[in-house]
């Protein structure tokens, strides 16, 4: 890399890189950060977590949604600004809604339901489920749904709930990726009428999403998907005769952005409240650590150049007109890889999380790195997003207006194997620094330290609240990231409202 001289050598092994070789380096000079104008404004609620439908059903069956550690940990993320919880995923299209009076807590398929942190052992490829998808319905009882509502209120989150779009359709015809037949909405309408009659659309309910990733393999084509979303809207208008109380709807929960995405937006702007999509660069474990330490990939590969989902195209199409017409856009699933990857809970994935600002939360006695990234972002950041440039391509820097003041919050990443010294042009004061480091020398560690303090949470889910270090110089060691907040700077771009 330019701008430094290597004083040591390291050995790069092909395959899984479990430990970063931290070669010493001398920089030729500091990395300067230049702030420009305010280029965007964040809404109050824009960050959240997703829960797979089958995972939620198992948790509810075991009363895990009443776990105070889980409630407390999520509530901490919503302390200063709203936080989303989206319940959905592939098994949202398996669900049969049971609104009978039976509320027995049962073992689910004979599995042990003691832990929220476990993944069921099955392939997520629908074509490989050989008879199970989506013909083995998961019963979602009214007691389970009430548990979810109670959890959402206790944790102070806005809830988005994914509905079944495949009831009545045969997805096991000759083309195993295709689904044929008409959508049978009888069970869904029963569920909607139950929610209306029981007054279960609570103030924190954000809306219904329909289906999950049904267009990539043409399970149902976009023309049918558009018709289904119109049908859902009609059902809601029939059940909720008062327009002021009708829940919002969102779709199509797609994992591929192409010309059909524009087709959906153009057809349904004004009918649905938002367009939902997914973005997974889909790194594998053999290449993920090195890629997650590649500043070029962190800068461009996360979303706008996401080759797997082509998700940047959705943003382009949305900006071409639907945005101006009031359609919102929601990224309802994302991470650096799918959920079966070993790298997702590790410190190195925080380079992705710190850049994308999406939280992966695993509650098993401690929060993962991305949890504390999200926690500090909610604590520190206001609404303004500032244009930011740096004098080096080997690091990344982003800037936001601080919450409740005209100061600036810098988000800094140094994925390289040399220390980086940052300076902020036009500012000569001190910073409050929150430096994220792996708990060990291994970037695949599952724990993180902030300013040397190991992050954890107690039995009630209360997280360790990171304490800032006052510093005049911003030096980030190799493979670290940080938040740095100015002190009483009164940035002109942030004075109107943070």
CA 32 to chain centre: 30
pLDDT tens for 418-448 read: 999 999 999 999 999 999 999 888 888 888 8
3-state secondary structure of 115: coil
Query: pLDDT per residue over 109-143, tens digit each?
Result: 332 333 323 233 333 344 443 445 555 567 889 99
67: Cβ contacts below 8 Å, ≥ 6 apart:
116, 363
Q: What is the pLDDT of residues 5-56, one digit of tens each?
A: 222 222 221 122 222 323 334 355 799 999 999 998 988 888 888 888 888 8
Residue 409 has pLDDT above 80, yes or no: yes
Select the highest-mean-pLDDT range: 171-185, 399-413, 440-454.
399-413
What average pLDDT does the structure give for the chain? 81
**Percentage, residues of the chain above pLDDT 70:** 80
268 Cβ contact partners less than 8 Å away, ≥ 6 residues apart: 226, 229, 230, 251
Give the pLDDT of residue 18: 25
Bridge partners, 300 (sequence order): none
What is the Cα–Cα distance from 150 to 165, expressed in whole angstroms? 25
Give the single-character DSSP code of 463.
B
How is residue 473 written in tokens? 């110089």
What does the pLDDT read at residue 207? 97
- Least confident range of 83-97, 139-153, 363-377, 392-406: 363-377
pLDDT digits (tens, 9 = 90+) for 187-238: 999 999 999 999 999 999 999 999 999 987 778 999 999 999 999 999 999 9
Taking residues 252-262, report their average pLDDT. 92
Q: How far is CA 309 from the centre of its chain?
A: 15
φ, ψ (nearest 5 deg) of residue 197: -65, -35
Confidence label for 345 from pLDDT (cuts 50, 70 and 90)? confident
Other residues' Cβ atoms within 10 Å of the Cβ of residue 228? 21
Question: In the CATH hierarchy, which fold is given to the domain comprising 4-41+384-486?
Answer: Immunoglobulin-like (2.60.40)
Token digits of residue 282: 């889909």
Six token digits for residue 133:
């998808």
> By mean pLDDT, which of 54-63, 256-265, 353-362 is the weakest?
353-362
**Residue 277: its H or E element:** strand 274-279
Q: For 48-106+113-383, which CATH class? A: alpha beta
Comparing 126-135, 240-249, 448-457, which segment has the lowest mean pLDDT?
126-135
pLDDT at 365 over 50: no
Chain Cα centroid distance, residue 303? 12
* pLDDT tier, 291 (very low <50, low <70, confident <90, very high otherwise): confident
**What is the longest distance spanned by two Cα atoms in the chain?**
72
Which comes out higher in pLDDT, residue 326 or 64?
A: 326
Of 32, 147, 108, the closest CA to residue 423 belongs to: 32
Q: How far is CA 424 from the centre of its chain?
A: 29
pTM (predicted TM-score): 0.84
Residue 56, class by beta-carbon neighbours within 10 Å (0-12 exposed, 13-18 middle, 19+ buried)? buried
Residue ranges per domain, the chain? 4-41+384-486, 48-106+113-383
Query: What CA–CA distance (Å, rounded) separates 74 from 155?
Result: 6
Count other C-beta atoms under 10 Å from residue 320's C-beta.
Answer: 12
Could you tell me the pLDDT band of residue 384, with boundaries at 50, 70 and 90?
Answer: very high
Cis previous bond, 252, omega within 30: yes
């Amino acid at each position: 890399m330019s701008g430094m001289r290597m004083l040591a050598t390291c050995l790069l092994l092909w395959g899984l890189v479990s430990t970063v070789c931290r070669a010493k380096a001398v920089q030729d000079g500091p990395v300067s950060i230049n702030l420009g104008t305010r280029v965007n404004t964040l809404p109050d609620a824009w960050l959240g977590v997703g829960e797979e439908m089958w995972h939620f059903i198992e948790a509810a069956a075991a009363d895990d949604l009443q776990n105070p550690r889980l409630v407390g940990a999520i509530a901490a993320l919503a302390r200063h600004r709203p936080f989303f919880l989206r319940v959905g995923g592939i098994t949202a299209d398996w669900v049969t809604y049971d609104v009978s009076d039976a509320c027995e807590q049962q073992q689910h398929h004979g599995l042990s339901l003691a832990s929220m942190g476990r993944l069921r052992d099955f392939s997520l490829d629908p074509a490989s489920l050989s008879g199970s998808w989506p013909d083995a319905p998961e019963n979602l009882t009214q007691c389970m749904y009430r548990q979810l509502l109670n959890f959402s209120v206790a944790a102070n989150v806005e809830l988005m709930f994914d509905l079944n779009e495949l009831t009545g359709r045969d997805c096991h015809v000759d083309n195993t990726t295709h689904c044929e037949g008409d959508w049978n909405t009888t069970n869904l309408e029963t569920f909607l009428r139950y929610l209306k009659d029981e007054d279960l659309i609570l103030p924190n309910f954000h809306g219904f999403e329909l289906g999950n990733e049904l267009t990539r393999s043409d399970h149902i084509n976009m023309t049918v998907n558009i018709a289904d979303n119109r049908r859902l809207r009609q059902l809601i208008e029939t059940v909720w005769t008062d327009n002021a109380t009708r829940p919002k709807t969102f779709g199509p929960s797609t994992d591929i952005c192409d010309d059909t995405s524009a087709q959906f937006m153009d057809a349904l702007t004004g009918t649905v409240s938002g367009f939902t999509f997914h973005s997974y660069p889909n790194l594998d474990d053999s290449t993920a650590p090195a890629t997650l330490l590649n500043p070029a990939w962190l800068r461009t590969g996360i979303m706008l150049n996401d080759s797997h989902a082509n998700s940047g195209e959705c943003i382009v199409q949305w900006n071409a007109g639907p945005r101006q017409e009031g359609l919102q856009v929601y990224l309802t699933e994302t991470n650096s890889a799918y959920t079966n990857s070993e790298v997702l809970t590790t410190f190195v994935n925080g380079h992705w999380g710190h850049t994308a600002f999406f939280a992966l939360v695993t509650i098993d006695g401690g929060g993962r790195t991305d949890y504390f990234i999200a926690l500090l972002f909610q604590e520190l950041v206001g609404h303004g997003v500032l244009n930011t440039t740096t004098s080096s391509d080997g690091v990344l820097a982003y800037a936001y207006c601080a919450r409740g003041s005209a100061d600036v919050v810098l988000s800094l990443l140094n994925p390289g194997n040399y220390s980086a010294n940052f300076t902020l042009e036009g500012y000569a004061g001190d910073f409050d620094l929150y430096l994220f480091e792996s708990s060990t020398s291994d970037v695949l560690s599952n724990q993180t330290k902030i300013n040397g303090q190991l992050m954890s949470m107690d039995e009630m889910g209360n997280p360790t609240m990171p304490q800032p270090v006052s510093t005049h110089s911003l030096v980030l060691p190799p493979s670290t990231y940080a938040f740095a907040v100015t002190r009483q700077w009164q940035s002109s771009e942030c004075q109107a409202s943070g």
